[in-house]
With several copies, the nearest count.
Chain A
Amino acid sequence: QTYPGIGRPATAKEIAAWDIDVRPDFKGLPKGSGSAEKGMEIWEGKCASCHGIFGESNEVFSPLVGGTTAEDVKTGRVARLNDVTFPGRTTLMKVPTVSTLWDYINRAMPWNAPKSLTTEEVYAVTAYLLSMAGVVPDNFVMSDANIAEVQARMPNRNGMTTDHHLWPGKSMGGKPNDVKSVACMKNCAGEPNVASFLPDFARNAHGNLAEQNRMVGAQLGADTTRPPG
């Protein structure tokens, strides 16, 4: 089947304007470099207002930096991900691939002015971000030539698996389902026991539920401005 009249060849210039993605194998990464020192300037001018001076803010988003150790840089596994008492997870605790940071900052940051950074600025600020976490030295100059070495120091680079059943198709994983249940119909479980519920003081925390249900219906909304009935 052909489709005469539909579509036309993309020009090289057009592809260059839009094909900005950078893959884990660095395909798509433009040549260039930027220093962590320059990155600090950019960070403080264009990023810190939202992410905090040390990337620690959770004012507009969860912290970018924190929770990784020198040991993690060696092992490639962020140990605190296994610490259930550690609150929250920072970006650097999770991200396995430095390309992801580069690509995302390049396409989407600063949040209110995406795609406004030069290639040098993206290298620089990425380097600075990593330097805050001790992944690269404070005077590091990151470039297309040495980015693979940075990758080899990413704290959570070994922290991912694709060995599961939730990827469609055969290109990854392909494991059978991990969770098993059976559709028992009669006398299935023990006496049910309520283990978790909202405390009464949180009753109105999502607003008055009477105003979040239709005026008529099989059930109406509970007036949560009043004590439970």
Chain B
Amino acid sequence: AAGAAGGAALAQSNPVPTEGGDPNILNLPAHTTGLGQPVVTDGYGKPSQYEANVQRRQSPGLTQTAQASVSFAPLQSLFGIVTPSGLHFERHHQGWWDVDPSKHRLMVNGSDEKMVKSPKVFTMDEIMRLPSVSRFHFIECGANSGMEWGNVAVPTVQYTHGMISCSEFTGVPLKIILDLCGVDTKRGRYILAEGADGSSMTRTIPMEMVEDGSVLVAYGQNGEMLRPENGYPLRLVVPGVQGVSWVKYLRRIEVGDKPYAAKDEAVHYIDLMPGGLHRQYTSIQECKSVVTTPSGGQVLLDKGFFNISGLAWSGRGKIKRVDVSVDGGRNWRTARLETPVLDRSLTRFNIDWVWDGKPALIQSRATDESGYVQPTYGELRKVRGTRSIYHNHSIQTWLVQESGEVKNVQLS
């Protein structure tokens, strides 16, 4: 809930003053004529009281319990590519825990006795002594935008796209840890990652992604340790792959010769195709983008100049280009990409726009370095139907009405 200072926004005008000037300028405020607060008022600081509206939120009615549920990141209020850790989206299957790191252990073993030469146990101290890397990656839930497969269901970009976040992760390449244990990588083409929470979440990951160095055993997120909600003190980072595979509270890695068909890869995170067949082990998050400002539930108070801004990403590498349309996809202009543009990370795009006060249909369309172009709903549904839940990466449309109010719409 929003605090006193975080209530409904007040339309802020900047009229040409009639009486000589704006009182906010002519009457010096208290902070210009007084002494402020000391350093280390907070040893660990917080956002301004005026930012109380910027919160992660549940989507009403989406889940039946709050421990097997999701909270969405407020993309409409975020800048750049780093998601503040306090606003990182949450997805728990059996609730979150604040695990004592001095008692946490990581085990590596094999699916049979020959798979791993020397199964091992590591403390956090030991893991943090190993060679470490730091990399920016997005994490997106496979079900992000899932509510919108059939039709428009939610009003804002927080709910349509808020199961994505992006952080600088620090940790040890899993390859180093496996090498240390001695793994038969000829037979062992799969990894099982297992968490220490009640769900003891398990997911199968291909050995190729370990071998190419991209899978990390991570403890750091945006400069500090992972947050408890995100797996403190240890989680797997599987770049480009859906969030459920980024096992939290990571306690065990098993090397195996077959996939494991865990609950969240045999009952959920399976994509229902037209015809009734499910696709299993659909892991990669495809090329996608969304305009975050302006976006659904917002109001443009004026005609005139606006900066259209949004996010693009791909589980297949870097973003190559983002195009933006303000006429519902008839004509497109290429947006500026903010640097750095990184592998399997969010990319921020911006483009100029002068609003003439008439209805507008704003869209963005990303292309990744593999050449894949983000599809329209028509193109996506033609192949995958409307019941998949997962991997909805369609172009999003926002309707700017004459009143200035922005609505979530889908075009036919």
B80-88, B133-141, B195-203: which lies at the A interface?
A: B195-203
Of the A-B pairs whose beta carbons lie under 8 Å apart in the complex, a sample of 27, sorted by A's number, is A3-B305, A5-B126, A7-B177, A8-B121, A11-B17, A17-B28, A27-B111, A61-B64, A81-B277, A84-B387, A100-B262, A100-B267, A108-B198, A161-B278, A168-B284, A171-B208, A181-B373, A189-B330, A196-B409, A206-B155, A206-B156, A211-B2, A212-B74, A216-B12, A216-B123, A219-B306, A220-B299
Which among A10, A13, A181 has the highest number of chain B CB atoms within 10 Å?
A10
Contact A14 B267 (CB under 8 A): no
- Per the bound structure, the CA–CA distance linking A167 and B263 in Å amounts to 17
B222 CB, min distance to chain A CBs, angstroms: 15
Q: Size of chain B's interface in residues, with CB distance under 8 A?
A: 165
Task: Please give, as numbers and ranges, the residues of chain A lying within 8 Å of B262 by CB-CB distance.
Answer: 21, 100, 103-104
Contact B206 A171 (CB under 8 A): yes
- Per the bound structure, the CA–CA distance linking A197 and B258 in Å amounts to 44
Task: Please give, as numbers and ranges, the residues of chain A lying within 8 Å of B397 by CB-CB distance.
Answer: 192
Task: Please give, as numbers and ranges, the residues of chain B lying within 8 Å of A187 by CB-CB distance.
Answer: 330-331
Contact B266 A100 (CB under 8 A): yes
- Per the bound structure, the CA–CA distance linking A157 and B216 in Å amounts to 33
* Contacts beyond the supplied A197-B407, A211-B7: 17 A-B pairs with Cβ under 8 Å: A6-B130, A8-B14, A8-B120, A14-B22, A17-B26, A18-B252, A27-B111, A60-B65, A103-B263, A166-B282, A171-B206, A188-B331, A194-B412, A198-B408, A216-B102, A217-B125, A218-B128
Find the B residue at minimum CB distance from A25: B258
Task: Please give, as numbers and ranges, the residues of chain B lying within 8 Å of A23 by CB-CB distance.
Answer: 111, 256, 258-261
6 cross-chain pairs, A with B, having the tightest CB-CB distances, nearest first? A5-B304, A192-B328, A82-B276, A169-B208, A169-B206, A195-B412
> Which residues of A77-119 are within 8 A (CB) of B?
77-79, 81-82, 84, 89, 91, 94-97, 99-100, 103-104, 107-108, 111-116
> Is there a chain A Cβ closer than 8 Å to B351's Cβ?
no
A34-42, A123-131, A135-143, A172-180: which lies at the B interface?
A: A172-180
> Is there a chain A Cβ closer than 8 Å to B101's Cβ?
yes
A206 CB, min distance to chain B CBs, angstroms: 5
Contact A7 B14 (CB under 8 A): yes
A155 CB, min distance to chain B CBs, angstroms: 12
Contact B272 A60 (CB under 8 A): no
- Per the bound structure, the CA–CA distance linking A14 and B74 in Å amounts to 37
Contact B302 A188 (CB under 8 A): no
Task: Please give, as numbers and ranges, the residues of chain A lying within 8 Å of B194 by CB-CB distance.
Answer: 18, 21
> Which residues of B178-194 are within 8 A (CB) of A?
179-181, 189-190, 192, 194
> Is there a chain B Cβ closer than 8 Å to A49's Cβ?
no
Task: Please give, as numbers and ranges, the residues of chain B lying within 8 Å of A17 by CB-CB distance.
Answer: 21, 25-26, 28
Interface on A for B, CB 8 Å cutoff? 1-11, 13-15, 17-21, 23-25, 27-28, 58-61, 77-79, 81-82, 84, 89, 91, 94-97, 99-100, 103-104, 107-108, 111-116, 156, 159-162, 164-173, 177-189, 192-198, 202-203, 205-224, 228-229
* With contact pairs A159-B277, A161-B279, A220-B298 given, residues A205 and B11 touching in the complex (Cβ less than 8 Å): no
> Which residues of B289-331 are within 8 A (CB) of A?
293-294, 297-307, 321, 323, 327-331
Task: Please give, as numbers and ranges, the residues of chain B lying within 8 Å of A82 by CB-CB distance.
Answer: 275-276
* With contact pairs A104-B263, A222-B297 given, residues A205 and B279 touching in the complex (Cβ less than 8 Å): no
Find the B residue at minimum CB distance from A95: B267
- Per the bound structure, the CA–CA distance linking A161 and B271 in Å amounts to 10
- Per the bound structure, the CA–CA distance linking A198 and B152 in Å amounts to 6
Contact B112 A27 (CB under 8 A): yes
- Per the bound structure, the CA–CA distance linking A11 and B410 in Å amounts to 46
- Per the bound structure, the CA–CA distance linking A214 and B391 in Å amounts to 29
Find the A residue at minimum CB distance from B293: A218
- Per the bound structure, the CA–CA distance linking A89 and B14 in Å amounts to 47
Task: Please give, as numbers and ranges, the residues of chain B lying within 8 Å of A24 by CB-CB distance.
Answer: 258-261
Task: Please give, as numbers and ranges, the residues of chain A lying within 8 Å of B179 by CB-CB distance.
Answer: 1
* With contact pairs A10-B120, A213-B53, A215-B6 given, residues A81 and B272 touching in the complex (Cβ less than 8 Å): yes
> Is there a chain A Cβ closer than 8 Å to B39's Cβ?
no
Contact B297 A213 (CB under 8 A): yes
